[in-house]
Amino acid sequence: MEPPHNYLRETSSSVVHHGDYLNRREDQALCGVPFENPAQLGPTIRPAEVCPDCEARLPEYHLTWWRERAEAATAELDELRVKYRQLTEHVDNQRRQVARSQGPPEVSGESPESPGEGTGEAQAGSTAEQGETTPTPLLDQARKELLELCRPFDEAVPYFRVKNSMDAFSDKLTSDERVLLAQEIGADGSLIRWCTREIEGLGLRVANNPVHADADAMMDAWTEDYYQTPKKTKRRLGWSRSHDAG
């Protein structure tokens, strides 16, 4: 890609000039020579010789042309950054709404309690909910990377993409931070199980997830072993050992 050129000459002259790119005038050349009856050359014609004064001003025209293109590209990039920031905030808000909607279910049918006890338990429950919904530092970083990973996918996120992303995240942590992360994960047991729950909370699923497959296989094997019918003995009743030996 290069700045466009157009060539003109006076009808009564054979000297070819550049058009006035800088002032965008059709009645004079780039070098300032005025035209009375200009004739424009075809777009596919590349003249062998062009007015040297026009050629001398070409660098100025090229510099102006490239500067305008750079300013336009910078403005477009700024607009895209604003749109990206808005989309990120929108997705983060949706994620928070989904997390809030998956809070602990309300317990009904309990016996009435005294005002003091009810107030104390309500405050304790409020504190517990804040502890659940407030993201811990390391899990908050993991959520951000997981959210970036899930953006291109509409229904299912490949398991190997989740594993590679979390492996890279874990590799950046120190030994103490890995211990702290395991404590923050808590009942989920592993980072991959935690990621699976987070992804399902976003309305997606993990494709080819061996975590679920292994759990199902273990349950089937346990069930088969526990409920296996005991084998019947083949010993015949009513016959003594001496009779068998005879």
Distance CA 159, CA 165 (A): 10
- The 10 Å Cβ neighbour count of residue 223 is 10
Q: What are phi and psi of 29, to 5 degrees?
A: -90, 175
86-121: buried (b, 16+ CB within 10 Å) or exposed (e) per residue? eeeeeeeeebeeebeeeeeeeeeeeeeeeeeeeeee
Phi, psi dihedrals of residue 18, rounded to the nearest 5°: -85, 150
Percent of the chain with pLDDT over 90: 12
d(CA 164, CA 174): 18
Grade residue 70 by pLDDT with cuts at 50, 70 and 90: very high
Mean pLDDT of the chain: 75
pLDDT in tens, 47-58: 888 999 999 999
For 13-45, how does the pLDDT look when each residue is reduced to its tens digit (9 = 90+)? 888 999 898 888 888 999 988 888 888 887 777
pLDDT of 218 higher than 50 = no
The confidence band for 113, taking pLDDT boundaries of 50, 70 and 90, is low
Average pLDDT estimate for 144-171: 86
d(CA 181, CA 169): 11
Copy the structure tokens of residue 141.
Answer: 């970083």
* Report field, pTM of the whole predicted structure over 0.95: no
Provide the pLDDT for residue 12. Answer: 81
Q: Tokens 């199902």 belong to which residue?
A: 216
- Asked if pLDDT for residue 91 goes beyond 60, the answer is yes
At which residue do the structure tokens 């975590």 appear?
211
Report which listed range, 86-90, 134-138, 219-223, 232-236, is most confident: 86-90
Q: Which residues contact 151 (CB under 8 A, 6 or more apart)?
A: 91
Residue 122 in this model has a pLDDT that exceeds 60: no
**What's the confidence (pLDDT) of residue 110?**
52
Q: Tell me: pLDDT of 223 over 60.
A: no
CA-wise closest residue to 192 among 163, 164, 150: 163
pLDDT of residue 59: 92
Report the 10 Å Cβ neighbour count for 157: 23
Q: CB within 8 A of 63, min separation 6: which ones?
A: none
d(CA 10, CA 14): 7
Is the CB of residue 129 less than 8 Å from the CB of residue 100? no
At residue 188, the pLDDT reads 56
User: Do the Cβ atoms of 50 and 18 come closer than 8 Å?
Assistant: yes
- Average pLDDT of the residues in 89-118: 68
CB 17 within 8 A of CB 7: yes
Per-residue pLDDT, 139: 81
Query: Backbone phi, then psi, for 145, in 5-degree steps?
Result: -65, -35
Where are the chain's structural domains?
Answer: 7-67, 137-226
In the prediction, which pLDDT does 135 show? 47
